[in-house]
Amino acid sequence: MGLSRYLKLGRIKINPIDRYIEIGEKDLIIPYDKISSSDWGQVYEKYVGQILEDEGYEVSYSGLDLGFFDRGIDLIAAKESNISFVQCKFTKQIISKSKIEWILFKASNKLYESYCDLNKKISFILIVNSKADNFSRKKSKRFELTFTPMTKVEYPMLQYFLDHNYIQDKVRLEFREIRMVI
């Protein structure tokens, strides 16, 4: 049975001191060394989903349910008249311009399907574990911010992602940093 099936069994608790993940009420304990580097993304999706649930959202775990076929949407979080489509990134790699474009492209079809419900405010949220680890502070020589005023931008690629709010008006793009200490 894959890790995603176990993660669906209940809430997770991360124990960074003893280096294990507890699923449910001590029903299942998985040591860190049994979790592959690629599986940490699924653990992070579950962790972020639980935080959103604690904030009052009703969360669907499409990444855990559909795996590779999630169409760029790891979580769907609904609260009142708002629906948020969430892409979680748990990596130490820098998110480049091409990666941002891929994230937006991959999610665009799912977001487009959601336009039909005009009574909902739709947002797409990129959530990362560490802004400092995932976004460079350096500005690429080939990169120009199109819509941001000529002020110093701390993370140019993050601003590039957010600047897409000026290109379209149907979906509000947002960013959050949610730390998961392992």
pLDDT in tens, 87-125: 999 999 999 999 999 999 999 888 877 766 667 889 999
- Cα–Cα separations (whole angstroms), residue 14 to 23, 104, 160: 9, 30, 33
CATH number of this structure's domain 3-177: 3.40.1350
- Residue 35 contacts by C-beta under 8 Å, 6 or more apart in sequence? 3, 21, 43
- The answer to whether the Cα torsion of 99, 77, 69, 25 is positive or negative is positive
Q: CA 23, CA 95: separation in Å to the nearest integer?
A: 30
Strands 28-31 and 20-23: antiparallel
143-163 pLDDT, tens per residue?
565 656 656 788 989 999 998
pTM of the model: 0.91
Q: What is the pLDDT of residues 29-84, one digit of tens each?
A: 999 999 998 899 999 999 999 999 999 999 999 999 988 778 889 999 999 999 99
